[in-house]
Structure 1
Amino acid sequence: MTTSPAREIWNPYRPDCPSRRLLDRIGDRWTVLIVGALDAGPTRFSAIGTRVGGISQKMLAQTLRGLEADGLVNRTAYAEVPPRVEYELTALGRSLQVPLQALEDWAVENMSRVAEHQKAAS
C-alpha cells in the first residue's frame, strides 16, 4: 500500500497534526446531521434546527460557524426586513456528503446489532 503525499504531511495519528481537529469536526454527530440537512440546498437556520431534532440553537450556531470557518458551509445574509440568513454547502462540503452518508447508513443498518451487544454488556 502506497502512502499519498498528503498522508505524509497530514498524519492524524501524530498527536500534533492539525488534521485531528478536522476529524473532530467531521466526526461530530451534529456535523454529520447538519451536512445531511443541507443536502437539499440553501436552508434557513430555523429549518436546519427543525430537521436536526434535539440540537440547541447555541450548538447549531456554533457548529455552523465551525463548518463555515473550515470552508464546508457558506452563510448568506440577505438585506431584508426581517433579515434572512441561509446556509449552503460549498463544493468542499458537498464532497463530504458521500462519506458521511455512508457513515449514517452504516449506523442505521447496524444499530440493532450494536444494541444487542450493548444489552449483553450491561
Structure 2
Amino acid sequence: MNKITINGKTIPCTGNRVHINNGKVFVDGQVIQECVGDINIIIDGDVNGVECNGNVEVHGNAWDIKCGGSCSVKGNVTGYIDARGSVTCGDVTGDIDATGSVACGDVGGNINVGGSVMCKE
C-alpha cells in the first residue's frame, strides 16, 4: 500500500497490515492516526491484512480483512474476508463470510453469506 485514507484524510504510508483498535489506526504496528467514532478506510494498493469496525475499500488485492461494515476490493481476494456487511470484489481464491450479499468475479474458494451471491461475467 502507498497511502491510506481514514475518514476522508489521506496519509501517505507503506506497509502491509492495517489494524484499528480503540480509535487508533496502526500500520505494521505503528500508530499513524487517532480517530473517534466510526472509522472508514480506503487503501490504495495491495494489503495483507485489515481489521476494523467500519467499512473498508481496497484499491488493489487483499489477503485478510475483518471489518464491521461493508468491504470493497477493486482487485482479487486471495485470503479471507469476514464482513458484517456486503462484499464487492474481483476473483475469489480465498474465502468470504459476509452477513450481507457478495458480488464477485470467479470463485475458487468458499463464500458464506446472509444475502445473495452474484458472480460477474
For the superposition of Structure 1 and Structure 2, which TM-score range results when normalised by the shorter chain? under 0.3
More strand by share: 2
TM-score normalized by structure 1? 0.23
| Structure number with larger C-alpha Rg | 1
- Compare relative contact order (CA 8 Å, sep 6+) and give the higher one, 1 or 2: 1
TM-score normalized by structure 2? 0.23
